[in-house]
Amino acid sequence: MKAVVTGGAGFIGSHLVDELLARSAQVTVLDNFSTGRASNLGHVENKIRLVECDIGRAGDWQDEFREADYVFHLAALADIVPSIENPEGYFQTNATGTFNVLQSCLKHRPKKIIYSASSSCYGIPDKYPTEEIAAIRPQYPYALTKYLGEQLVLHWCQVYQLPALSLRFFNVYGPRSRTSGTYGAVFGVFLAQKLAGKPFTVVGDGGQTRDFTFVTDVVDAICVAAESEASGEIINIGSDNTYSINRLVELLGGEVIYIPKRPGEPDCTWADIEKAKAVLNWKPKVLFEKGVETLLDNIDYWRQAPVWDKESIADATAKWFEYLG
């Protein structure tokens, strides 16, 4: 089996590469290291083909899709504030980049394309758990451009008969999640604060809940989806539960300070995964408490991560309040 993984040096992508190699696949990774890290693949660098490239621009990298059986399209720019500040860059990578990947697939015809979509497209839903048929209400350019990429994938599937599935990931966490750059996902922020002996900066009152889904469960869903007969579908991938930030802090252990609640953020994220169970015969396996324990066992990964405090977060999120408030 030959597989191409865009964004394979990233958080989810590098775990997917590990799993594909465990299944004896020949793996080609495409990454520009804007968010991914070469060190995420250091332990397998002699077992893969690694191509540094920018999918947002057509180029020789598109020849890497020749003879690929499966294409896993995970490459994307993430985070909220940078997408507000740089919508052009996000469109170039998340929408145009997806178009370029699809054109390569159209030429070389893999057996299946798996697109990593984002549950952020739901915005602030009316109903929890949230089904795939829920209204689409992206609140910022990252959410919008990921949704545009999804629509491209489904359209190419419909018009050009490219077998494809879009998996909408919820709040994925686990080892190798991003450690540097922009203020972002709560786990990276909290783990760096814990290492530095600083208080956890909890947004609002901490009662908001998130569908924290462990990365190995997400990778399992990706592989099951690739091997399935399903095509042309959107499928939520989540933990089948939702957990408060206060519960996370309790598991991590440490002092807390509170910072203002941010506009455009839901009080709850919670995937309805009945479709994943029915169509893919998939369900998550990792309990939240066990996942957090695994992170604490690997906490040194975040030793070089920036340590955020109340003041630096206020500076980093100023545009958030300006545009979404």
Summarised one tens digit per residue, pLDDT across range 186-206 is 999 999 999 999 999 999 999
Pair of tokens at residue 107: 């030429």
What's the distance, CA 79 to chain centroid? Answer: 10
Length of the chain: 325
CA distance 177 to 142: 18
In the prediction, which pLDDT does 93 show?
98
Evaluate whether 117 touches 154 at the Cβ level (below 8 Å).
no
In the prediction, which pLDDT does 304 show?
86
Give the list of residues 6+ apart from residue 78 with CB closer than 8 angstroms, or none: 35, 142, 178, 184
In the prediction, which pLDDT does 215 show?
98
CA distance 202 to 242: 17
In the prediction, which pLDDT does 325 show?
79
In the prediction, which pLDDT does 181 show?
60
CA distance 223 to 118: 17
Strand partners, 43: none
In the prediction, which pLDDT does 184 show?
67
CA distance 100 to 205: 43
Evaluate whether 31 touches 10 at the Cβ level (below 8 Å).
yes
Strand partners, 100: none
Write out residues in the chain with pLDDT < 50, as ranges.
none
Positions annotated as catalytic residues are: 142
In the prediction, which pLDDT does 183 show?
66
In the prediction, which pLDDT does 124 show?
96
For the chain, where are the E strands, in sequence order?
2-6, 26-31, 49-52, 70-73, 112-118, 164-169, 171-173, 200-203, 209-210, 212-214, 233-237, 243-244, 256-259
> What domains are there in the chain, each with its CATH number?
2-172+214-237 (3.40.50.720), 174-211+241-269+286-324 (3.90.25.10)
